Structure 1
Amino acid sequence: MNPQQFGKVAVLMGGSSAERDVSLRSGQAVLNALISQGVDAFAFDPAERNLFDLKSLQTDRAFIALHGRGGEDGTIQGALEFLGLPYTGSGVLGSALAMDKVRCKELFKARGLSSAEFVVVEQGAQFDSQAIINEFGAVMVKPAHEGSSIGMAKAATASELNEAISNAFRFDDTVMLEKWITGREFTVTMISGVAQPIVEMVTPRGFYDYEAKYQANSTQYYCPAELSQSETENLQLLAQHAFKLVGASGWGRVDAMRDQAGQFYLLEVNTVPGMTEKSLVPMAAKANGMNFSQLVINILEQTL
């Protein structure tokens, strides 16, 4: 690897989404890794600088470490294409579709990929909380366009559901109510279209929420996950189908659950997953013999 081949690299981090803090940590880790490999890289926060400054700074390409809206939803990807700058990860369409949980689920359903049942609630629209609980039992409440489990909550009663929906509306005008799955939670990292070793996340909390991801010391990770070879291959194949279906490319992550009967269910596709010290993508890459610096370079090479 010749670091000069990349030219000047902007690591886009921060931004103005609800995931800003995580993005700053991811971006700093990526920046440190690039610099350690001799790449001419610098930090760039779109929330603090005009994106057109990238041209005056003579930037050659961008490593996107922005999470959430504005960075993971196709917005920054479209802007970079307008500027003529190569960038890491998925393009405009793949980013936009993957970020939209509702359209992701509709695509899974249309293609016959296993995913939990769901209903959608729009802000200002009428809905019957008790009827939803009667139909689904417990549900997972998710803002349609957020990541890092922000605004998510489990609801098992009508009153809990009303409270969870009200909180989710603080982050989004559209909220997805997904049938609760009791079982094990997994994630499959995708690098250059290849599924990496599966990670299983185990937390004493109700689910793998924001605190379990970034703050708690009680979360346990198993990589490779304790699955049979056939189960591993089935889940990796399911993840590859989902990743390709939404138009994602380059690198990313596909989250899934396995219920007590052994059935896998797709949750969502992440096109700019976390790259912090607790993140799952570096963990999966390490299990496949790739250290963090090699992972970052591998992702950046996809822009050449």
Structure 2
Amino acid sequence: MNIVVLAGGISTEREISIVSGTQVCKALREKGHRAILMDVYFGNVEIQPANAFPENYDTDAAAAYMRGFDGNIEAAKAAQKEFFGPKVLEICREADVVFLALHGENGENGKVQAAFDLLGIVYTGSGYLGSALAMDKALSKKLFREGGVPTPGGVTLHQGETVKSTAGYNVGLPCVVKPSCGGSSVGVFIAETEEAFQAAVAEAFSYESEIVVESYIKGREFSVGVVDGEAYPVIEIAPIEGFYDYKNKYQAGSTIETCPAEISAEQTARMQEYAVLAYNVLKLENYARVDFMMDDNGDMYCLEANTLPGMTPTSLLPQEAAALGMTFADLCEKLIQVSLKK
């Protein structure tokens, strides 16, 4: 198939997206597909529709071309450049499917998906509605509670309103403060004092005008991939220091990841059931990754769902697939096939 792997963009997760896209493009090439890598925001004026999907292709060179725009992001945003870069929509229309390797706000919030739906472009992952619901942590937590998915208690704060103490929000200390629509734990803080809470709120508001404050769950962290409505093996995430923040997610050797997780069969089944329930409550499609905490009593709490999880060979979802005997390339192929079914 002719495939565009769409990555990059202007979110805080741009670099991780380029890494994911590079690995996916290489894997799809290994499977015999004519895959190319494109930056959703900056495009590539050198690509011509007539030969957009060549038999021989240098993926690393394409990634280097994308990184060449890294210093131009703020200037491009200030100039109010339109979101889709040169040739992006034109080439995506020529593809059999677009593999979305985007991460962060303008890749996972449903806007790209909605545009593609209007244009008849086939893409991987959830549709615009599920993407928007999952991206908004305040809204997804409300839907979790209404749908019977256990989630930490918390409140949503909006910029400009008077900030109370943690006791006023009934969350206690320590607590978690995070942007409502962020990703990769960017702007997430664990506040252990009132002073730290007030500072965390101010810092989180520097990222977005809506933030979530929730009770801190002390315990073990897990993630469960859901592909085509089926839960994958549970993976445990144990940072060597601190919590699973941006550094611990992407710096090699910072986190110990165990898959399948060393928990009981009953706990595994229950967490997988909650993952599928969360997937359905948020109206997700094709694939996603659902994150959990489990306290010392064995009580589980769903933190959020990620509709376009990281896709490097060492990312969480690929590790879960490996536990099922699937190679990284096999997983990339499967994500395309389940997405084409819709």
Q: Fold conserved (TM > 0.5)? A: yes
What letter matches 2:283 in structure 1? Answer: G
Q: CA deviation at 1:129?
A: 2.5
Contact 1:130 1:157 in 2 (8 A): no
Give the match for residue 214 of structure 1. Answer: 250
- Secondary structure class of the residue paired with 1:178: strand
Q: Return closer, same or farther for 1:118/1:55 CA change in 2, 3 Å cut-off.
A: closer
Q: CA deviation at 1:303?
A: 3.3
Q: CA deviation at 1:205?
A: 2.3
User: For the residues of structure 2 that align with 1:123 and 1:235, how far apart are their CA atoms?
Assistant: 34
Q: Does residue 153 in structure 1 map to residue 189 in structure 2?
A: yes
Q: Does residue 61 in structure 1 map to residue 55 in structure 2?
A: no
Q: CA deviation at 1:282?
A: 0.4
Q: CA deviation at 1:273?
A: 0.3
Q: Return closer, same or farther for 1:76/1:260 CA change in 2, 3 Å cut-off.
A: same
Q: CA deviation at 1:59?
A: 2.2
Q: Return closer, same or farther for 1:299/1:183 CA change in 2, 3 Å cut-off.
A: same
Superposition pairs for residues 18-29 of structure 1, below 5 Å? 18-29=12-23
Give the match for residue 41 of structure 1. Answer: 35
Superposition pairs for residues 1-304 of structure 1, below 5 Å? 6=1, 8-49=2-43, 50=84, 53-57=87-91, 58-132=94-168, 135-304=171-340
User: For the residues of structure 1 that align with 2:311 and 2:168, how far apart are their CA atoms?
Assistant: 36
- Secondary structure class of the residue paired with 1:303: helix
Contact 2:313 2:319 in 1 (8 A): no
User: For the residues of structure 2 that align with 1:264 and 1:158, how far apart are their CA atoms?
Assistant: 26
Query: Unpaired segments of 5 or more residues in structure 2?
Result: 44-83
Contact 1:133 1:156 in 2 (8 A): no
Q: Deviations over 1:211-263 (max 9, x none)?
A: 11001513101100011111100000010000111011101100000011110
Q: Deviations over 1:121-147 (max 9, x none)?
A: 111111113534874221111100011
- Secondary structure class of the residue paired with 1:188: strand
TM-score scaled by structure 2? Answer: 0.84
* Segments of 4+ moved more than 4 angstroms: 132-135
User: For the residues of structure 1 that align with 2:116 and 2:212, how far apart are their CA atoms?
Assistant: 30
Aligned residues: 298
Query: Unpaired segments of 5 or more residues in structure 1?
Result: 1-5
Q: CA RMSD in A?
A: 1.4
- Secondary structure class of the residue paired with 2:293: strand
- Secondary structure class of the residue paired with 1:137: coil
Give the match for residue 3 of structure 1. Answer: none
- Secondary structure class of the residue paired with 1:78: helix
Q: CA deviation at 1:47?
A: 1.4
Percentage of pairs with the same residue: 41
Q: Return closer, same or farther for 1:262/1:55 CA change in 2, 3 Å cut-off.
A: closer
TM-score scaled by structure 1? Answer: 0.94
What letter matches 1:115 in structure 2? Answer: T
User: For the residues of structure 2 that align with 1:102 and 1:227, how far apart are their CA atoms?
Assistant: 29
